[in-house]
Amino acid sequence: MMKKVVIIVVLMLLSIIITTTLSMSVSSTTTDTVAAVTYDERALLINGKRRVLISGSIHYPRSTPEMWPDLIQKSKEGGLDVIETYVFWNLHEPVRNQFDFQGRSDLVKFIKLVGEAGLYLHLRIGPYVCAEWNYGGFPLWLHFIPGIQFRTDNQPFKMEMQRFTTKIVQLMKQEKLYASQGGPIILSQIENEYGNIQSGYGSAAKSYINWSASMATSLDTGVPWVMCQQADAPDPIINTCNGFYCDQFTPNSNKKPKMWTENWSGWFLSFGGAVPHRPVEDLAFAVARFFQRGGTFQNYYMYHGGTNFGRSTGGPFIATSYDYDAPIDEYGLVRQPKWGHLKDLHKAIKLCEEALIATDPTSTSLGSNLEAHVYKTNSGVCAAFLANVGTQSDATVSFNGNSYHLPAWSVSILPDCKTVVFNTAKVNSQVVNAKLTSHSLEETSDSSGAFSSGWSWVDEPVGISKSNAITKPGLLEQINTTADVSDYLWYSLSTQIQGTEPFLKEGTKPVIHVESLGHALHAFINGKLAGSATGESSSKRSLTLETPVTLAPGKFTIDLMSLTVGLQNYGAFFDTVGAGITGPVKLKGLQNGSTIDLSSYQWTYQIGLKGEDSGLSDGSSTQWIVLPSLPKKQPLKWYKRQ
């Protein structure tokens, strides 16, 4: 009996010991994953240790959820420590108080995938993002709140901005995604490049920025906040640099680290514009110079650019592709030699990390346009960067008793102050020349000139074709009329010229004159296309159409289709920039040289196209026509290819 009791007691003790050990183990693991993120004058500190961090931007809605794991893995393999993304307000709250976090909008899933890959995340809440995104990321309903003024010391705007920012922070906390909770988020951003345009807002700008900083820090995320391009960012907000080169940037306090939140890996594509390209040699030079001159956090904007799906592109005139000449291309494929050369650069920089985080560099001139920066610890660990900032000539320099060749516009990295492991101008990564072997982009034709099979089409009616059209006197501004539910607004007028005199000057045609704020316009007279016009760029949006038309005395119809091509996303008071036909609309060159101003007549308006309501744009319609010969060079046709 005694033996049995002893055995039971021993087993109970063993159970207690095992349970205690497991509990201690779990507690230890949890403690290890929770990270305290702070900063000092040299770097971000994670659990008290300074870090050199290399980051890259991937915007979750510009790729599909199926692509996210592979994009994140390729980023990690490319040497990134951090993924950076904006949060897109109009994506998540398209209707006030109705939120969407599903599919491409699944921000939580994206961040969790980043964490599962062992990477950190920088969450740029904004909520203004620019990003060549429609309306700068603001939902259009914001525009209609009485008394609102965007991005200034305006109470209606600040209430909405605080409400959305709080919503995102609370969501992150609920999912335990901040580093202080064991998640991957180590940084957050409030506002975005406000310093570039704040002079337009006068004295209210400063109070707005101070309020933004105070509001953000009061949310208690447990991680630092940054403001990019904001030289007067108040403590404890870190002000950071955006640009092609940020090596000469200095933070606004000697207690803050030197950080680069946007190193532009290329540029965005505009409709009709050249495809942007930034040579990897120049990009690598900019990165190396930044770390050479004291930087410790650098982010590529973009590392993967992706696609502007749906009507998300801003502008106007910014293209659907957001490839950005990034290291990972629009389709998720590695772009060589850019990806590989930068990967080699990252390895070289990481070999210098111990020295980089220990101290500020000492600089020495090695000649005209030639510099050496040396990082050396008290224990003797040494790293050096040798730079030739001249753009024309290579150079040979002497450093620490050794001779080094420096190509023009290049930096050599010496992790031991002796051996060059990387030079920014010497690209060793494999160049892959992708060639399209399919005929998907070039249609074949038969002897009759018809397109190959697989094409179908549907006609779009000219002018008013929906029952919800409205009639009002005068010309309406487009954005206020459509609320951006469609890119299209029909302006339609049926009228008649009174009088017995001949309507036209003998041997001439009258001219229709239309002035519009943009972005594009098609004019139809009695159902036939008379002419078209487009704006030129985001800074030259407005347009004038003036074209001869065929008319006869009596009743006639003018149908003007006005189009927006992405709403303005940048600039002071960008939300007040209008679109559409604001007039005048005139008929010129009539009898006796007279002109009729039609601007104040009764116009009928139709928001959107019949084909949009029928599901043509998303492929759900069954109205598609398939015939051997496809109509070409005809207006108002919807086309689809299987």
Q: Which helix (H) or strand (E) holds 607?
A: strand 602-607
Q: Residue 471 burial by CB count (10 A; 0-12/13-18/19+): exposed, middle or buried? A: exposed
Write down the number of H helices and E strands in the chain. Answer: 11, 30
Contacts (Cβ under 8 Å, ≥6 apart) of 541 = 316, 517, 518, 519, 535, 568, 577, 579
Q: Which residues pair with 531 in a beta bridge?
A: 523
Q: Of the listed 84, 191, 262, 460, which one is catalytic?
A: 262
> Cβ atoms within 10 A of the Cβ of 563, count?
20
Annotated active-site residue 77? The verdict is no
Determine the length of the chain: 642
Tokens of 256: 């803050």
d(CA 212, CA 14): 56
Annotated active-site residue 262? The verdict is yes
* 67-104 b/e (C-beta count within 10 Å ≥ 16 → b): bbeebbebbbebbbbbbbbbbbbbbbbeeeeeeeeeeb
Query: From the centroid of its chain, how far is CA 535?
Result: 22
> E-strand spans in 9-157?
37-39, 44-46, 49-51, 53-58, 82-86, 120-126
Contacts (Cβ under 8 Å, ≥6 apart) of 3 = none
Contacts (Cβ under 8 Å, ≥6 apart) of 15 = none
Q: Of the listed 193, 281, 460, 515, which one is catalytic?
A: 193
d(CA 549, CA 80): 60
Asked if 185 and 234 count as a contact pair (C-beta separation under 8 A), the reply is no
> Cβ atoms within 10 A of the Cβ of 362, count?
11
Query: From the centroid of its chain, how far is CA 25?
Result: 43
In terms of Cα–Cα distance, which of 285, 524, 515 is closest to 409? 285
Tokens of 555: 């009743």
Q: Which helix (H) or strand (E) holds 457?
A: strand 455-459
- Residue 473 sits at φ, ψ, to 5 deg, of -75, 140
In terms of Cα–Cα distance, which of 483, 77, 53, 46 is closest to 224? 46
Query: Residue 521 carries which side chain, given as an amino acid letter?
Result: L
**Known catalytic residues?**
193, 262
